[in-house]
Amino acid sequence: MQTRPKHALMAAELLVEQHEKKISFSSLPAHLIPKTESEAYAVQSELFDLRKSRLGPIAGYKVALTSKVMQKLLQFPSPFSGPLHTQLIYTDGASITAADYGRICIECEIAAVLKNDLLPRDQPYNASDIAGAIDTIGPALEIVDDRHADYDRISDEVLTLIADNAWNAGIVRGRMIEDWKNLDLADLQGTVYINDTLIDTGYGRDVLGHPFNALAWLSNKILEQNQIIQAGMTVMTGTMITTQFVKSGDHLTFSIPELGSVSIDIS
């Protein structure tokens, strides 16, 4: 276990307070803001621990910033990750209340469930290694709470974003399938509809070239933090489609013909 900076807990406590009061997202105060990516993940870990009694233990991980467009927007050279709480994994057709969050966004992704632990080893994991460790895959939605972030300033606030659990507020899993090995995940096309209107389309290759490239990056990143992704955990591969801002009354559906669909209602 890595030693966490002494100010990490104070920063995490402030983030909890900001969420409870629905304070708009901005960088942490100067004396608490992470100075490095490692410090940002230390705050993230403290934040997860503070919420664990209410939201449950770890059930998996998300990957963010898996497109060059988003990396350019945030002026950050790589993806980043965040853990998923057990109580924030919802099933298809879930309903959430917009007023419970600062500002809700939805990301459309492929999720996977592992059949094997991704244990430490001498060589980094690659996409082929990941394919051999996957049990099931399916369409999924990430619930993101950006708390009315100012995107004109977000590149200066990315370490606070990582500390704030990469803005994850839950996921919605569609039906997970075992018979996926003959599919070319890079070529899978996904579409998102809001209130039955087609909004956008994306492909598996829009996620670092292939969804399993994102999971290889994730597995290596988690090992750097002296943790492992365990069998049975759900891992989110990153959004295939532009992040969608939704409001009360919206019904969003994400569909990949070969995998099925997943939906969420916003009340």
β partners of residue 114: 134
pLDDT for the residue numbered 70? 78
What's the pLDDT score for residue 4? 66
Residue 77 in tokens: 């050279």
Is the pLDDT reported for residue 53 higher than 90?
Answer: yes
Structural domain includes residue 1: no
Residue linked to tokens 């899978």: 188
What pLDDT score does 2 carry? 54
For residue 111, being part of any structural domain is answered with: yes
18 in a domain, yes or no?
no
Overall number of domains in the chain: 1
Range of the domain at 160: 57-266
Question: In terms of Cα–Cα distance, which of 134, 92, 93 is closest to 231?
Answer: 134
Who contacts 220 (Cβ-Cβ below 8 Å, separation ≥6)? 124, 125
CB 96 within 8 A of CB 63: no
- What is the per-residue pLDDT for 155? 87
Instruction: Report the chain's mean pLDDT, rounded to a whole number.
Output: 95
CATH of the domain at 73: 3.90.850.10
Structure tokens belonging to residue 261: 């669909």
Which pairing describes strands 89-91 and 168-173: parallel, antiparallel, or unpaired?
parallel
Whether 16 maps to a domain, the answer reads no
For residue 77, the model assigns a pLDDT of 84
Which pLDDT does position 1 carry in this prediction? Answer: 46
Q: Is residue 242 part of a domain?
A: yes
Asked if residue 39 belongs to a domain, the reply is no
pLDDT in tens, 132-176: 999 999 999 999 999 999 999 988 999 999 999 999 999 999 999
* Distance of alpha carbon 40 from alpha carbon 50, whole angstroms: 15
73 pLDDT above the threshold of 90: no
> Is 41 among the domain residues?
no
Q: Tell whether the model's pLDDT for residue 62 goes beyond 50.
A: yes
Please report which confidence band the pLDDT of residue 177 belongs to, taking 50, 70 and 90 as the band edges. Answer: very high
Least confident of 53-57, 119-123, 151-155, 212-216: 151-155
Q: Which of 78, 215, 105 is nearest to 167 (CA)?
A: 105
Q: How many residues does the chain have?
A: 267
With a cut of 70, say whether residue 30 has pLDDT above it.
yes
Query: pLDDT tier at 23 (50, 70, 90 boundaries)?
Result: very high
In a domain, 140, yes or no: yes
Rounded to 5 degrees, φ, ψ at 67 are: -120, 150
- End-to-end Cα spacing for the chain: 41
